[in-house]
Amino acid sequence: MQFDGDVLTIGLDMSMEEIREFEQFVRPRLEYIEMIETEEGTVLRSSSLLSLLVSLKRSRPELKIPFLEQGVTASSVYGTLHWMCHD
């Protein structure tokens, strides 16, 4: 996780403990974050991270999360994953 100005960059391959730590870090700072980007080359390991990102987006609709907005990712284990997020 890297915080640079108003952009937070995270890896998609977080463990459950890392996801908990990320949530504890990001919730109190959410109003200061403009965008959450993902590190290139990391693969989604847990649907919990996806759920958390959706929750953050619903809490602050103007937050930009390009990974979430794409609605698709590829996994070497699960193949292509699609999702839909509604406001």
* pLDDT value of residue 20: 97
> Rounded to an integer, what distance in angstroms lies between the CA atom of residue 79 and that of residue 33?
31
* 68 Cβ neighbours under 8 A, 6+ residues apart: 50, 53, 54, 57, 85
* pLDDT value of residue 8: 93
Domain ranges (residues) in the chain = 2-82
Q: What is the tens place of the pLDDT at every residue in 9-29? A: 999 999 999 999 999 999 999
